[in-house]
Amino acid sequence: MPVDRPEGVPLPVDVRDLLSDTEVSLVEEFAARHVSARRRRQHEYAFAAFQRWCALRPVEALPASPRDILRYLHLHRDRWGWGQMWGVVAAISFMHLEAGLLDATREGRIREYLSAVRRSKGRYVEKKQMDAIRTEDVAAMARTLGAASPDVARVRFVIAILYATGTDRLADVLDSGRLRIQLHDDAARVSIGTRRGILDDLTPGALAAVCEFTSSGEHLTKTDQTGLESQIGDAWARAGLPGSWSKNLSRLAPADLQWLLANAEPGYHETARAVAYLLVGHALGRRHAEMANLLLCHLTERPGGWQVLIAQSKTDPHGRGETLPLDHDDDNGLDCDTICGACALEALLEVHLRCHGRSLADSARIFPADLASGARWSTAQAARFLRTWWAETGLDPEARIGTRGIRAGTATSLSEREVPLIDISQITLHRNLTVLLRYIRRYDPVRWHYHLPV
């Protein structure tokens, strides 16, 4: 309904005394602005609904208290879109200013509420809002990316047997009548005729390869010899090891053996980057821009893990720098879980060192778009890869996945473990706990979905 206020009447003195100079100028500017008849009718219609709601309580609609405005907005939150809610706020603001009253919608709590709603409704959601990639999701994706195909498992098994027995004859490994394997908790005893060997914790990759292939129940035959020779040769070439595998495999150092087993997978280098990006990003709660700008000179090895320097970030535009720990799951780094961020980082650093000679190039990027060129990895490229990894793992196909989800997943997972907000902020480097709360998704047991709290 229209408010009876004659044109050209100045603000009452008692009202003007309540306002600061900035607020007075804002009111006068608003009053002087031309408002079309159509816009005025829209404001009056929206405000009339607010007046009817106030009359049923009963509370005053003009002037309205910030508490009543918040109650009114939150009551209709699920029914209104962002545009309609903003229209109601604009109508309440307009009618207060028309009546020469203080604009109650500019109160801090209302602005914070509108900011939170804007992040969960409307076009803003389509561009910015992403689902949280929680610890369980990161672990599932890392295991899927690191899982060996049956062909890769066979090649790794054969390499491990050749190394353990010290033989260079592939035909001996394929002779099921002569090959004997005894598995123990922390070792595997292997024998081919008179040749015997033990795979233990010093060669964890070889031991895991033997255990995995043996437990699968598969068997090798002599018809597989030609294909296996070719696959081992390809792995040897990808690893960049000197000489011929048939003459030098049994004499490899444990570190070189581990590297050869890893390169049995044709796309191991890209897999190492993908797994490290997921695990390190989740462990540190970093944005993609900070991951893409991470250089070799920002890493410092220390007992039990690494120190990672975040040279510059959104909350540190002047580049003062923040140091975060990236620790192994195990104290000595030997019995870590497969989703250990420090181990994944070390595997990627070995790729940089062995394949691209970046051990002394402090300016080399840890997570480049292309491992050969070292070009910067854009957010759009990383988001596409992330959605592909999510789909390959078989996770929720309706989830909105982007690079922002890794940081939100870190905050959400820590919150679920009842870690205090102040401790979470020391990991995510948030200076404002209100902003940090926007990253924490709440679980809706009815919809089986994590959503942004309001």
Position 38 scores a pLDDT of 75
* pLDDT for residue 283: 92
The predicted structure's pLDDT at residue 138 = 93
Asked if residue 46 lies in contact with residue 88, where contact means CB atoms within 8 angstroms, the answer is yes
Residue 434 makes CB contacts below 8 A (sequence gap 6+) with 112
pLDDT for the residue 1: 39
Amino acid at 406: I
The pLDDT of residue 245 is 85
Place of tokens 């890893």: 262
Q: Sort 42 into a burial class: Cβ within 10 Å, 0-12 / 13-18 / 19+.
A: middle
Cα dihedral angle (354, 359, 363, 364), rounded to 10 degrees? Answer: 10
Q: Are 110 and 66 in contact (CB under 8 A)?
A: yes
3-class secondary-structure state, position 417? coil
* CATH code for the part of the protein at 267-454: 1.10.443.10
Q: Please give the pLDDT value at position 117.
A: 79
- To which residue do tokens 């060996």 refer? 148
Handedness of CA 421, 426, 430, 431 (dihedral sign): positive
Highest CATH level, class, for 13-127: mainly alpha
Domain ranges of the chain: 13-127, 149-262, 267-454
Task: Dump pLDDT digits (tens) for 241-260.
Answer: 888 888 888 888 888 888 89
DSSP string for residues in 301-326? EETTEEEEEE--BTTBTT---EEEEE
CA distances (Å), origin 396, targets 271, 278, 381, 384, 444: 22, 17, 21, 16, 15
Which stretches in the chain have pLDDT values below 70? 1-17, 24-36, 119-129, 175-177, 193-194, 199-202, 331-335, 357-361, 443-454
Peptide bond into 58 cis (omega under 30): yes
